[in-house]
Amino acid sequence: MGFIVKKGGFLTTVQDQGFIGYLQQGISPAGCADHQAFQIANYLVDNFEGEAVLEATIVGPVLEFTEDNVIAVTGGDLSAQLNGDPLPMYRAVAVEKGDVLSFGTMRSGCRAYIAFAGGLDIPVLFGSRSTLMRYKFGGPNSGKALTDGDVIRFLSPKASLPGMEERAVEPVDYSAREITLRVVLGPQDYLIPQESVERFLSSPYTVTKEMDRVAVRTSGEALNHIGNGTIVSDGLCIGSIQVPPNGQPIIMVCDYSTTGGYPKIATVISADNPLVAQVTPGTVIHFQSVDMAQAHEIYMEQYQKMCALERQMRALSEKEIRGEKMDKVFSISELQTLVKIVSANRIDELRYVQEGVELNIKNSKAASSAGQAEKANESPVVVAEPAPSPVSVTVVNHESAVTNAVPASMKFIRSPLVGTFYAASAPGEAPFVTVGSHVQMGDTIGIIELMKVMNSIPSDQAGVIAEILVTDGTPVEYGQPLMRLE
């Protein structure tokens, strides 16, 4: 099974990467407020970064496990305990049937994340298992927080993982009561007088009690407006800082409304959004201006650190799948990555043959999904997909007398952004890389356009481009494999 919720805590919900790509339908992204803690928790238990977790706010839940598994708790320190003893954070921990996970006093931050090896059996809606409480859908309880007596099943639990002692990282410290948030000014800072913009960047603002997954309200030196303090409603994003008529900045969090009618003086850079997610009433905020290039550089530094952590954790799980006549094999993580690509892109079948080894990955749901898409064009529908993946994998050795079949090692360059991928700097120009190109860490392999800004995408590892997985001018999602290296 999985676990029984003995106590739901103050606010405990199932979250993942959120509802990506539905802002135009008025659906907030939701997902984990602290994406950094969320990703780290999944890496520690050998999940993909997008696997669903529990997000516990202020007071955590009490969970009784009904099956052995491996868990990790990250984010804010809510005094996690296992069977009454302190549970180390930012570390993979094996739990057994009958064990009880609980939480005590909130020591730092306000949101903790609990990841479970193999994931949680939660229905998929709009490509996500997240809970969107303001719209009352998603998660295991139709948009509601976990309550006493809820039962959540594991998808593919693991009693242990390779390298358990090494599955740990330095905890992130959220104890500071005074923080600095780096922001990019705009897009409506021209509606704020210059003296107010300078005041915004030089004055402290204190987090009020009015804070949740939608927004964080602050209190400090009031900012003035040019005009009446309203605009024709336009799009918001995580980290948007609105200035309402009262002049007190409001920072948008993950459940924000898709549009807003107040001028946006600035936007918190992606790398600092985890700090916003962990503030508590009384936290003092200082805003520091950076330009777009600096924001991109900071983001890429953080992205590369996360990629390095993922590779470190994956390396611990390099178990092998062996056939009787194979001495070189695909690893579990390589197959997991290929299955993810097939499932996410609704590919009917992927067939890979090299040196006598044939790998077939078939997606039994791809065809039916295509049919549903055609019907959706005629009449909009919402399809809730079951959690288990409909993807099957078969490895066949065609050379029964040969023992040196050597499949290529699977390494991928992933998209660090959501946007449109371009292979060259301009139409008609030569692509940055082609199949066979040698790349070093930091070499530009393409461009992603996001909000009319062209972002160079550097390779986060060295190798030879073996396959380009996206075509020029196509939309890509965060984390989507762009190219395969060998």
Q: Rounded to whole angstroms, what are the CA distances from 245 to 74, 202, 393?
A: 38, 20, 58
| Model confidence, pTM | 0.71
Q: Give whole-number Cα distances, 421 to 21, 269, 430, 473, 475, in Å.
A: 16, 21, 15, 5, 6
Q: What's the whole-number mean pLDDT along residues 478-484?
A: 84
What span, in angstroms and rounded, lies between the C-alpha atoms of 307 and 301? 10
Yes or no: say if 28 and 258 are a contact pair by the CB < 8 Å rule. yes
Instruction: Collect all residues with Cβ–Cβ distance below 8 Å to 194 and sequence separation of at least 6.
Output: none
- One-letter amino acid of 156: S
The confidence band for 369, taking pLDDT boundaries of 50, 70 and 90, is: very low
- Between 378 and 187, name the one with better pLDDT: 187
Q: Residue 400 — pLDDT band, cuts 50, 70, 90?
A: very low
Higher pLDDT, 367 or 232: 232
Residue scoring higher pLDDT (363 or 328):
363
Q: Tokens at residue 325, please?
A: 């006549």
pLDDT on residue 426: 85
Distance CA 329, CA 310 (A): 21
The pair of structure tokens assigned to 240 is 């948007």
Contacts of 235 (CB under 8 A, 6+ apart): 23, 258, 259
For the range 440-449, what are the long-range contacts, defined as Cβ-Cβ under 8 Å and sequence gap of 24 or more?
Answer: 445/413, 445/482, 445/483, 446/421, 446/422, 446/482, 447/421, 447/422, 448/415, 448/416, 448/417, 448/419, 448/420, 448/421, 448/422, 448/476, 449/419, 449/420, 449/422
State the chain's mean pLDDT as an integer. 85
Question: Residues of the chain with pLDDT > 90: what percent?
Answer: 64
pLDDT at 321 over 60: no
CB 442 within 8 A of CB 459: yes
Residue 47 has pLDDT above 90, yes or no: yes
- Give the Cα separation of 449 and 211 in Å (integer): 32
Q: Is 223 helix (H, G, I), strand (E, B) or coil?
A: coil
> pLDDT confidence of 460, banded at 50, 70, 90?
confident
Strand partners, 250: 217, 242
Q: Residue 284: helix, strand or coil by DSSP? A: strand
Of the candidates 150, 175, 221, 170, the residue with the CA atom closest to the CA atom of residue 77: 175
pLDDT given at position 379: 36
